[in-house]
Amino acid sequence: MANFHIPFPRGKACPDVIFLRYEDMSKSDALPSARWTKADDKVVLEISGDWLRDGPPPKIHGPASHQAPDRYVTTELGTFDSILPAFILAQFRTANPPTGTPLEPSMEGLPAGLIGLLELALAVPEEIDANKDAPATSEIKKLGKASIRVWESLHQVADFTGQAVISMGRFVTGRAHFRAQDFWAIVQECGVQALPIVSLISFLIGLILAFVGNVQLANFGAGLYVADLVGIAMVREMGVVMTAIIMSGRTGAAFAAHIGSMKVNEEIDALRTFGFNPFDFLVLPRLLALILMLPILTIYANIVGILGGMLVGATVGIPPVLYWNETLSSLDMTTASLGVFKSVFFGAVIALSGCLEGMKCENSSAGVGKATTRAVVASITAIIVLDSGFAAIFTILDI
């Protein structure tokens, strides 16, 4: 008696892949083998034994023909699963039929159930290039593709920046519409909720600057000038740069994730359907919130950093009042305002980077993660580049 059945282990869920098995109960277990022979100028393939995926590998006897078998002998065939159809199908795929013969291979002598499986497999044509290796890409071609990607990225940044300027113009003229409660929620997220991490980092930066400065200045008996070092470094560079980097990893990433999730869920398309401008509704309040809050956070970070330096000064014998007076004497309004001036541009860059990557997000959950990563990398890179440019400009202007 011969039949097909699908074996499932008891007590286990249905497997993802089903292996069909044909069993001839009249045959005993035997090693699988295939023998190529010729009879009356016809290629004959004798198949015997049990062809199972967890059994021994089949033995092939005789030279394999370049032509698909004309006839099969399966009198000694026992139990088989998907291994046998795959073997026969491989012979069909690799054999070269002689000129004038039909393209459909012969299945004479095969069991009826096996013929049905092979016909189902042959109904789907094989891709011509499926087994071919991809051609090696030349270095010039790689350079060209990289240049095109860079140009497209620059074009997207320029286009997005232009839209931001136009949206700001609409806001000034009263033609931009977004919800006030959304704006104030973003302001709270960018401001009050960011104070703990900004306080910690700024305080530690002030401590580090004071420790390093005191080690060097104490050799010359100029330990008091640690106050000058910490104060100038914080208000010119470290306060604004560290605050901007913190906000890039904290707020810029949140902007990209939020807008990217909205794009995946087609909420941005829904805004367009209801007549809202997604740029004004989503990007503009975030841009305004960061431009407003980053200067305030920068001033706060400068003060906290100076206090951290003052703590170190107190431990090395500099009275806090003397330290504070020395800090005030080393700073003027121009020096103190440089970091605050740069923070406006840094805030705009962080907001634009996060929103741009969110708008470009792929329509998948993995795309949201990639957009978040790109937003952080892009905003931090832009901050460092901008800060280098400002340093060069301030040096040329002797500020």
Neighbours of 86 (CB within 10 A): 13
100 and 197 together in one domain? no
Lowest-pLDDT range of 11-20, 144-153, 155-164, 206-215? 11-20
Tell me if 138 is assigned to some domain: no
From 122, 142, 161, the end of a domain falls on 122
93 and 217 together in one domain? no
230 and 107 together in one domain? no
Asked if pLDDT for residue 13 goes beyond 50, the answer is: no
Predicted pLDDT at 17: 42
Lowest-pLDDT range of 24-28, 61-65, 112-116, 366-370? 24-28
Which residues are CB-neighbours of 360 under 8 A, at least 6 positions away?
Answer: 156, 371
Which whole number is the average pLDDT over 368-379?
92
Asked if pLDDT for residue 233 goes beyond 50, the answer is: yes
From 87, 122, 157, the end of a domain falls on 122
Predicted pLDDT at 28: 45
Tell me if 141 is assigned to some domain: no
Say if residues 244 and 302 touch (Cβ distance below 8 Å).
no
Predicted pLDDT at 257: 93
Pairwise pLDDT comparison (19 vs 66), residue with the higher score: 66
Asked if pLDDT for residue 385 goes beyond 60, the answer is: yes
User: Could you read off the pLDDT of 35-84 as tens digits, one per residue?
Assistant: 888 877 788 888 888 888 888 888 887 776 667 788 888 888 888 877 88
Predicted pLDDT at 238: 93
Q: How far apart are CA 393 and CA 373, in angstroms?
A: 30
**Cα–Cα distances in angstroms (integers) from residue 376 to residues 161, 251, 255, 395, in the given order:** 17, 9, 10, 29
Predicted pLDDT at 83: 82
Asked if pLDDT for residue 16 goes beyond 70, the answer is: no
Q: Which band of pLDDT confidence, cut at 50, 70 and 90, is reported for residue 317?
A: confident
Query: Residue 47's beta-bridge partner residues?
Result: 34
Q: How far apart are CA 276 and CA 287, in angstroms?
A: 18
| pTM more than 0.75 | no
Predicted pLDDT at 134: 59
Predicted pLDDT at 49: 85
246 and 358 together in one domain? yes
**Number of independent structural domains in the chain:** 2
Tell me if 153 is assigned to some domain: no
Query: Helix/strand/coil (H, E, C) string of the chain?
Result: CEEEECCCCCCCCCCCCCCCEEEECCCCCCCCEEEEEEECCEEEEEEEEEECCCCCCCEEECCCCCCCCCEEECCCEEEECCHHHHHHHHHHHHCCCCCCCCCCCCCCCCCHHHHHHHHHHHCCCCCCCCCCCCCCCCHHHHHHHHHHHHHHHHHHHHHHHHHHHHHHHHHHCCCCCCCHHHHHHHHHHHCHHHHHHHHHHHHHHHHHHHHHHHHHHHHHCCHHHHHHHHHHHHHHHHHHHHHHHHHHHHHHHHHHHHHHHHHHCCHHHHHHHCCCCHHHHHHHHHHHHHHHHHHHHHHHHHHHHHHHHHHHHHHCCCCHHHHHHHHHHHCCHHHHHHHHHHHHHHHHHHHHHHHHHHHCCCCCHHHHHHHHHHHHHHHHHHHHHHHHHHHHHHHHCCC
Which whole number is the average pLDDT over 103-131?
71
197 and 345 together in one domain? yes
Q: From the centroid of its chain, how far is CA 245?
A: 20
Tell me if 199 is assigned to some domain: yes
| The residue type at 336 | A
111 and 185 together in one domain? no
206 and 111 together in one domain? no
Tell me if 159 is assigned to some domain: no
Hey, what are 397's tokens? 């202007």
Q: Which band of pLDDT confidence, cut at 50, 70 and 90, is reported for residue 34?
A: confident
Query: How confident is the prediction for the chain on average, in pLDDT?
Result: 84
Lowest-pLDDT range of 23-37, 150-164, 347-361, 385-399? 23-37
Q: Which domain holds residue 90?
A: 2-122
Tell me if 249 is assigned to some domain: yes
249 and 350 together in one domain? yes
Predicted pLDDT at 312: 92
Which whole number is the average pLDDT over 382-399?
92
Which whole number is the average pLDDT over 129-153?
78
118 and 219 together in one domain? no
From 96, 122, 148, the end of a domain falls on 122
Predicted pLDDT at 80: 80
Least Cα distance to 84 among 32, 122, 44 occurs for 32
113 and 189 together in one domain? no
| Buried b or exposed e, range 355-384, using 16+ CB within 10 angstroms | bbbbbbbeeeeebbebbbebbbebbbebbe
Which residues are CB-neighbours of 279 under 8 A, at least 6 positions away?
Answer: 163, 164, 167
Which whole number is the average pLDDT over 147-169?
91
Which whole number is the average pLDDT over 291-298?
95
Which whole number is the average pLDDT over 373-379?
93
In the chain, the percentage of residues whose pLDDT exceeds 90 is: 45
Tell me if 135 is assigned to some domain: no
Tell me if 144 is assigned to some domain: no
Say if residues 294 and 343 touch (Cβ distance below 8 Å).
yes
Asked if pLDDT for residue 255 goes beyond 70, the answer is: yes
Asked if pLDDT for residue 97 goes beyond 70, the answer is: no
116 and 194 together in one domain? no
Lowest-pLDDT range of 24-38, 83-97, 190-204, 351-365? 24-38
261 and 360 together in one domain? yes
Pairwise pLDDT comparison (239 vs 4), residue with the higher score: 239
**Cα–Cα distances in angstroms (integers) from residue 50 to residues 6, 56, 204, 220, in the given order:** 16, 9, 73, 91
